[in-house]
Amino acid sequence: LIKIAVKSLGLDELYPFDPKKKIIEYILEEEASKGKKKLVDMTLTDFADETASESPAPGGGSISAYMGALGAALGSMVANLSSHKRGWDDRWEEFSDWAEKGKVYQTELIKLVDEDSSLWYPASSEDRSEEEKAARQKAVQDATRYATEVPFKTMKQCYECMSVAKAMAEIGNPNSVTDAGVGALAARAGVMGAFLNVKINAAGLEDKEFAAQIIREGEAIVEKANELEAEILKIVNSKI
């Protein structure tokens, strides 16, 4: 299958195509065998250093997903602290449910950190036939659509996890209300950052109807996230 793909896409036109160096799954497998960690397995320092390096990943998409994950984590933290607050023993189950909900969002967004970093585009080379040109163009469009859908997924998860921050700002331990506020800020930043990637990748889609639709849906999420952030911060500031 790999040989057929290489031939049909003309990937070996300019130089020999080495699957072990060009196919992301093989690269990840080799890196894993060498002990190289996934982005989410790095230390905070290593993650920041990798971001600052000349490597294109992690980029804005991965960072947006990670900000959302941190926002969800802060919501869970407030819920866990609230479940153990003295005098609130009868509410532990209520807060445990919120903590679990936040953990689900956190887990999904952590997955998106590495999913965004694995986005790739077929290498360009001289086409020998119209069939090969069409095959490469389809591959490029498929990759571009995927690169648009991943940050859109990040947007939705970041927005939805803000519900935990709002609940914790309203009913959580008042001593941790600012943590809920920071969680909302981080999640909203994730929404905005991911939308930038949605827009830039959608611009390269030939399917303009799909591009316009996902942009409209993204704009709606941005508007709701801005409104929800304002509501949460209003609550937070009223309790400080």
Average pLDDT, the chain: 87
> What's the pLDDT tens digit per position in 104-159?
999 999 999 988 766 655 555 555 667 777 777 888 888 899 999 999 999 999 99
Helices assigned H by DSSP within the chain: 2-9, 19-22, 24-33, 44-52, 60-83, 92-117, 130-171, 177-202, 208-239
Q: What is the C-alpha to C-alpha distance for residues 170 and 161, in angstroms, rounded to an integer?
A: 15
Query: What percentage of the chain exceeds 90 in pLDDT?
Result: 60
Residues 6+ apart with CB under 8 A from 11: 5, 17, 22, 122, 123, 125
Contacts for 231-234: CB closer than 8 Å, 24+ residues apart: 231/166, 232/162, 232/165, 232/166, 232/169, 232/180, 232/181, 232/184, 233/181, 233/184, 233/185
Global pTM exceeds 0.75: yes
> What's the pLDDT tens digit per position in 215-237?
999 999 999 999 999 999 999 99
| Predicted confidence (pLDDT) at residue 5 exceeds the cutoff of 70 | no
